[in-house]
C-alpha cells in the first residue's frame, strides 16, 4: 500500500519500514517483503526522493540477499554492471540478469508485463534500453566483467555470452583465461546446451541456455571443444572417460586427446585411447600398473610400518574396498586381453603379462603378515587361468612359468604348476562335455596333459638341483 502510494507516511517512518522489511522469516515471506521493498524504493526514485539512508538500505538488502531491492538502488545510480551481478545471484527470479541485459541492449521489450512473463522480477520491470551511444561502452564493460559474473553463476554468464556475444566466443574465453576453472565452467554450460539443443523447443518468454544455443548458428567451434576437453582433464579427470564414450567426443582429434590425458595423468582414458588406436600392449600395461598399485596399497594395511592413511578406518573396511578395486582393475585387464589378444601381434604375451603381474605381487608379499593379500592374489591367479582356458595353450603357460619363475621358492612353484594342471583338467572336462564329436580330441588332450606333467617334473628337478 505504501509502495503504491495509496497510503502516505512520513519519510522517516518509510525509511524505518524499509529497514524492517529485510527481517524475513520464511521463503514466501521473504519474496513478499522484497517485492514491497522494491515498490517503495521504486516510487521514491521516481519521485526523486531517494532515502537519505540509501547506502544503509543497500547494505541491509545485500546482507538479506534481497537482490531485486539491491539492484533497484544500483540501477538508480546507473551502475548496470553491479545490478547484473546482483541479479545473477537471484535464485527466485532466475532470468533476472539475462532479461535485464536484454532490455538494456534493446533485445527485449521493457516493462513490468514482459518482466513477469520472463520471470525476471519487479526490479527488472523498471529497466529501460540504453541510449544507443552508450551501448558499445556497456558491452565492453560487460565482457570484462564476465569472470565476476561467472563466479556468481556459470549459467547466467553463459546465457549472457551466448545471447550477446555469439560471434565473440574467443574474446569471452580470453576474458576468462586468467582463471582456467572459470573457462571450464563456462564451456561446460555452453557445450552441454549445444548437445541438447538439436531437439529443443522453447518459449520466447523463458528461453533456456539450450534455447539460446539452438537459436545461434555455428556458436561452438572445434577450438572450444578441444579447450573444454583439456580443461576437463585438468579439473574433472573422473569424467573424462565417460565423455570420450559419449557422442559429444566424436569430433575430437584422438591424438590430441591422448596428449591431454597423458599430460594430466588420466590413466583410464589414456588406456582407452591407446586401445582405440591399436596400441594394445601399452593399454594393457596401464591397466596392470593400476592393478599392481592397488595391491601395494592393500599390502600397506598389514605392513609393520604402514602408511598413516591406513589408520583412518578399520582394516576390514579398507581391505574390502581395495579388494573391489583390485578385482575391477584385473577384470579390465583380462577383458582387454579377451577382446584384442587375437588381433595383437603378441597376443599370448598379453595374457602372460597378466599372470606376471599377479605372480610378481605374490613374490613381493611373502610372509605371514600378508596372508590376506596373498589369498586375494591366489584367487586372481586362478581366475586369470580359468579365463585363459582354451585361449592360450597350457603347455606354453607351463613353459613360461618354469622359464620366468623357476628360481622362486619350490613350494610356491609347485602351487603355480598345480593350478596350471588343474586348468588342464578343466579344459579336458570342457572338451568331453562337448559330446562324442570331440571325444577323440579330449583323449588326445589328456595324453598331452600327461606329457606336460612329466615336463613340469623335469623342470622342478632342475630347479632343485
* Set of cell numbers at residue 303: 605392513
At 219-263, the pLDDT tens digits run 778 899 999 999 999 999 999 999 999 888 888 999 999 999 999
- How many CB atoms neighbour CB 118 within 10 A? 25
Tell me phi and psi for residue 438, to 5 degrees. Answer: -120, 15
Across 15-19, 79-83, 302-306, 311-315, least confident range: 15-19
Q: Cα–Cα–Cα angle for 94, 98, 99, nearest 5°?
A: 90
- pLDDT at residue 417 is higher than 90: no
Q: What is the DSSP letter of 370?
A: G
When computed from its CA atoms, the radius of gyration of the chain, rounded to whole angstroms, is: 35
Give the single-character DSSP code of 407. Answer: T
* Three-state SS sequence of 245-314: CCHHHCCCCHHHHHHHHHHCCCHHHHHHHHHHCCCHHHHHHHHHHHHHHHHHHHHHCCCCCCCHHHHCCC
pLDDT reported for residue 202: 44
Q: 366-375 pLDDT, tens per residue?
A: 778 899 999 9
The CB density around residue 449, as the number of other CB atoms within 10 Å, is: 19
Domain residue limits, the chain: 278-392, 409-465
**Length of the chain in terms of residues written:** 465
Reading the block at residue 260, the C-alpha cell is 591431454
Q: Give Cα 73 to chain centroid, integer Å.
A: 40
Grid cell 591407446 is found at 274
Confidence of residue 278 (pLDDT cuts 50, 70, 90): very high
423-457 per-position pLDDT tens digit: 556 555 554 555 444 445 545 655 665 565 555 45
Cα(400)–Cα(405) distance, integer angstroms: 8
pTM: 0.69
Amino acid at each position: 500500500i505504501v509502495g503504491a502510494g495509496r497510503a502516505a507516511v512520513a519519510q522517516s517512518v518509510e525509511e524505518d519500514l524499509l529497514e524492517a522489511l529485510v527481517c524475513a522469516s520464511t521463503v514466501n515471506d521473504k519474496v513478499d517483503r522484497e517485492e514491497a521493498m522494491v515498490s517503495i524504493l521504486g516510487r521514491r526514485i521516481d519521485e526523486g526522493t531517494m532515502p537519505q539512508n540509501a547506502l544503509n538500505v543497500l547494505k541491509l538488502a545485500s546482507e538479506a540477499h534481497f537482490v531485486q531491492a539491491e539492484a533497484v538502488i544500483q540501477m538508480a545510480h546507473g551502475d548496470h554492471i553491479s545490478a547484473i551481478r546482483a541479479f545473477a545471484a537471484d535464485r527466485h527470479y532466475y532470468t533476472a540478469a539475462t532479461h535485464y541485459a536484454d532490455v538494456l541492449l534493446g533485445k527485449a521489450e521493457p516493462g513490468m508485463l514482459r518482466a513477469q512473463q520472463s520471470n525476471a522480477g519487479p526490479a527488472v520491470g523498471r529497466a529501460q534500453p540504453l541510449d544507443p551511444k552508450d551501448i558499445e561502452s556497456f558491452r565492453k564493460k560487460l565482457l570484462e566483467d564476465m569472470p565476476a559474473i561467472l563466479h556468481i553463476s556459470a549459467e547466467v554468464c553463459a546465457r549472457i555470452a551466448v545471447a550477446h556475444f555469439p560471434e565473440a566466443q574467443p574474446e569471452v574465453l580470453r576474458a576468462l583465461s586468467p582463471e582456467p576453472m572459470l573457462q571450464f565452467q563456462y564451456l561446460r554450460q555452453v557445450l552441454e546446451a549445444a548437445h541438447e539443443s538439436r531437439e529443443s523447443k522453447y518459449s520466447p518468454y523463458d528461453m533456456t541456455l539450450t534455447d539460446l544455443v539452438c537459436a545461434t548458428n555455428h556458436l561452438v567451434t572445434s577450438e572450444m571443444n578441444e579447450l573444454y576437453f583439456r580443461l576437463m582433464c585438468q579439473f574433472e579427470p573422473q569424467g573424462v572417460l565417460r565423455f570420450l564414450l559419449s557422442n559429444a567426443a566424436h569430433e575430437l582429434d584422438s591424438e590430441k586427446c591422448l596428449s591431454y590425458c597423458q599430460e594430466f595423468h588420466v590413466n583410464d582414458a589414456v588406456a582407452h585411447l591407446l586401445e582405440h588406436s591399436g596400441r594394445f600392449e601399452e593399454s594393457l600395461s596401464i591397466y596392470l600398473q593400476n592393478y599392481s598399485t592397488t595391491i601395494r596399497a592393500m599390502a600397506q594395511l598389514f605392513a609393520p610400518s604402514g602408511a598413516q592413511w591406513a589408520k583412518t578406518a578399520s582394516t576390514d573396511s579398507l581391505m574390502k574396498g581395495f579388494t573391489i578395486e583390485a578385482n575391477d582393475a584385473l577384470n579390465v585387464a583380462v577383458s582387454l586381453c579377451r577382446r584384442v589378444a587375437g588381433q595383437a601381434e603378441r597376443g599370448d604375451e598379453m595374457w602372460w603379462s597378466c599372470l606376471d603381474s599377479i605372480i610378481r605381487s605374490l613374490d613381493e608379499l611373502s610372509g605371514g603378515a600378508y596372508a590376506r593379500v596373498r589369498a586375494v592374489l591366489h584367487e586372481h591367479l586362478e581366475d586369470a587361468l580359468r579365463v585363459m582356458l582354451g585361449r592360450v595353450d597350457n603347455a606354453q603357460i607351463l613353459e613360461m612359468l618354469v622359464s620366468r619363475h623357476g628360481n622362486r621358492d619350490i613350494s610356491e612353484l609347485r602351487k603355480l604348476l598345480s593350478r596350471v594342471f588343474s586348468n588342464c583338467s578343466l579344459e579336458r572336462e570342457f572338451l568331453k562335455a562337448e559330446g562324442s564329436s570331440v571325444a577323440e580330441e579330449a583323449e588326445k588332450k589328456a595324453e598331452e596333459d600327461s606329457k606336460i606333467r612329466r615336463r613340469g617334473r623335469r623342470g622342478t628337478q632342475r630347479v632343485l638341483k
